[in-house]
Amino acid sequence: VMTEVSKQSQEGRSSSGDWTEIE
């Protein structure tokens, strides 16, 4: 998930907390 978090962050999503929604 860490990798996805970094990717999402670069996409412009929330720095942290968005990965929870993605999951």
The pLDDT tens digits of the residues spanning 4-19 come to 666 666 665 555 556 6
pLDDT for position 1: 59
Whether pTM exceeds 0.75: no
DSSP state of 20: H
pLDDT for position 7: 67
Alpha-carbon dihedral angle through residues 22, 14, 8, 5, given to the nearest 10 degrees? -70
Inform me whether the pLDDT recorded for 2 exceeds 60.
yes
pLDDT for position 13: 55
